[in-house]
Amino acid sequence: MDKSEYIRTATAELSNSKFYVRESQNLNFQTELKVNAAIDLMYRDGEIDSNVATYLKPSGTKTSRFYTLPKTHKGRDHQGFLKIRPVISGSGSPIERLSQFVDHFINPAMQKLDSFIRDSKDVLNKIEDINREGPIDECMALFTIDVKSMYPSMPRSLGVKAVKLALDQREVHIPSTENLLKCLDICLKENHFSLMIISTAKYMELQLAPKWPLVMRVWAWALRETTHVVSHTTGERFHLNTSITCTKKEVIYLINCLDCGKQYVGETGSELKVRHRGHRQEFRKGHTPLGFHFQTCQRCELIGLQNLTNSTKQNREEAELKWIYRLNTYAPLVVFLDTELSISDRQIKSNLHFKPTDSHNYLMYPSNHPRSCTNSIPFSQLLRARRICSDDQDFAKVSKQIISFFEQRQYPQRVLSNALKRIQGINRASALAPKTDHTPTRRIPLVLSFHPSVTPIVRAIYRNVETLRHDPSTRDHFPDPPITAFRIEKNISKHLVRASQPQAVVPDTPGTFPCNRGRCNTCPVVSYDKNLSIVGPNNNRFNVHQYFSCTSANVVYVLVCKRCNILYVGETKRRLADRVTEHLRSIKQNLPGFPVATHFNPPSTCSIRDLMVSAAISCRGSDHDRLAAENRLIMKLGTLSPHGLNVRLELL
């Protein structure tokens, strides 16, 4: 998929007016006000302390980014577009930390669900528990069921109602359920984002996409508490407590036997329930959260499930979930992610599954990575196979396939042989056993950008670390040797490919514009004022006639407080972003002697969220010329104290 096709596919997804609406402006500031109001309310109620409140309050935020992951293995739709998975990255957005806060209180309730699954190892352990209960009936079959487009299709109000039920079950109601629901409402409604590759296009979600783990937990409780099923044969309605987890969307199932007319109704993580002639009979627990099996006669069919609804008309109209199920009683084998589940010798067997579209493009061995990293990859893949394959013969066959994949990626036989030798000493029970050592380390990390030339440096450090450990002045700081951590060095791809392109602004356009560089602290505080004029305390107006960005250098700039409209005029020979970063640092650290830092910290009611910056004059001469331009602008706008934040005029 090239750039033009990517943009075409993404814009086609965003053109669906049922789920998205285009915004005319950046709404980050309005969202920050709502978040701050919710945090201040919890602080006044004594539910959080000042440190938590300070951490949760957003500052220097940026708009969430929308991007897509193409599903190349699923082909194209009827319009010729590749099928995609839409994703919204909320990193650095106004609601990022608030959503983490709410998720902290919802997560424990999720883990209490019967169908909660921690990871794939947990799934395999649950299957082993079923096998240990005894032989499985010969008439058992396996099937899976899924929900299509669950996140955009689920009504927002349904999720909030379900989460309220979960929060009410807490033993300690601090923060209060009411305040947490207000925070949740902000997180779910303030879904403003931009298309990552076209940062000027602003959108808002009408329904919710999987932005955070918080969203998954909300919908889990929504399905658990508000699911109804209607039998297509009798019209009878069943109400079931049903669950969905982050790992896999498990849902209720309804089976109609064509031979005896029995209806089999089940739910994940509970007993199998059978309705027959108005009587309910309980059967033993006989299914797994990911691969269900049920008792049946020779012929059975899976009845389609009706849309999720609750008692209100609005939710009946909004909830349009489509169910995808896979059932084959004659060849009982189901696939879940990388695992094949089947019934053999009256036991549930598991085997490693390779997707037909899997290219097995593991990291090339000659690539520029630490040798400890590349050498560990074959062993980790063999360990995964050892964990999944319940039969030793299947494991031996799969191991040969995995070794052949790594041979194609130029891994030496020595590395592959060592990996095989290590895995042969591990049985499946040990591979499935949970890790018990969670002791945190006190070792100080030594973070370096990886390059082959740094290896001698690391070796020299470890050779001489004993000197630090035995020196009285340093032994308390280095009781243990440091742990080396490598960051990825920039490669050609990092220099040539960008996640978002700069805004299409003509350099002659007057005003100050974000540079859209990664991790730029100035972009979020760049003024979006389109009237291209700066008004001082004396009502004098200065019109901006030049184009500026965060990377503009040798400029005179103006800091504006949005709350009280007080100004500060400054100058810098360096890039505007470098000077503004220093202002932001002085505000965050509340450094004494800095008028800007004093204004944006208590006891003032203004904060760093009220700061905006606009470049005013581009100076092409000497430092003397730039200082003179700064003084002229200070006098023109009248920003000397007490009417502004400038303490004095600069000496020429």
Tell me the three state secondary structure of residue 259.
coil
Is the model's pLDDT at 260 over the cut of 50?
Answer: no
pLDDT confidence bin for 453, thresholds 50/70/90? confident
Phi then psi dihedrals of residue 423, to 5 deg: -75, -25
* pLDDT value at residue 412: 93
Residue pLDDT, tens place only, 88-110? 777 778 888 888 888 888 878 77
Any idea what DSSP says for residue 228? E
Taken in order 68, 527, 188, 588, is the CA torsion positive or negative?
positive
d(CA 237, CA 241): 13
Task: Outline which parts of the chain fall under CATH 3.40.1440.10.
Answer: 511-637
Instruction: Collapse the DSSP code of 651 into the 3-class scheme (helix H, G, I; strand E, B; otherwise coil) and give the result.
Output: coil
- Return d(Cα 153, Cα 321) in angstroms, integer: 6
Predicted confidence at residue 246, as pLDDT, reads 25
* Angle, CA of 159, 212 and 228, to the nearest 5°: 25
Q: Which of 9-18, 155-164, 308-317, 402-411 has the lowest mean pLDDT?
A: 308-317
Distance CA 213, CA 190 (A): 16
Average pLDDT over residues 469-480: 77
Q: Is the pLDDT of residue 299 over 80?
A: no
Third-level CATH fold of 511-637: GIY-YIG endonuclease (3.40.1440)
Q: Which residues contact 236 (CB under 8 A, 6 or more apart)?
A: 230, 275
Q: Residue 151: pLDDT band by 50, 70, 90 thresholds?
A: low
Query: What angle, rounded to 10 degrees, do the helices at 177-189 and 156-167 form?
Result: 150
Cβ contacts of 377 within 8 Å, gap of 6 or more: 362, 363, 406
Contacts of 100 (CB under 8 A, 6+ apart): 212, 214
- DSSP states of 320-377: --EEEEEE-SSS-EEEETTEEEEEETTEEEEEE---TT----PPPTTSSS-HHHHHHH
Is the peptide bond prior to 603 cis by the omega test (within 30 degrees of 0)? yes
The one-character DSSP state at 458 is H
pLDDT of residue 112 exceeding 50, the answer is: yes
Mean pLDDT over the full length of the chain: 72
* CA distances, 593 to each of 586, 645, 647 (Å): 10, 12, 11
How far is 407 from 413, CA to CA, in rounded Å? 8
Kindly indicate the confidence band of residue 209, based on its pLDDT and cuts at 50, 70 and 90.
very low
Q: Which of 429, 455, 260 is nearest to 372 (CA)?
A: 455
Confidence band, pLDDT 50/70/90 cuts, at residue 405: very high
Please check the confidence at residue 418 and state whether its pLDDT lies above 90.
yes
pLDDT top residue among 311 and 492: 492
**Residue 507 token pair:** 């350099």
C-alpha angle with apex 397: 391 to 402, nearest 5 degrees?
115
- How far apart (Å, rounded) are the C-alpha atoms in residues 508 and 546? 7
Mean pLDDT across 32-56: 87
Chain centroid to CA 608: 26
Q: What is the Cα–Cα distance from 190 to 168, expressed in whole angstroms?
A: 24
pTM, full prediction: 0.60
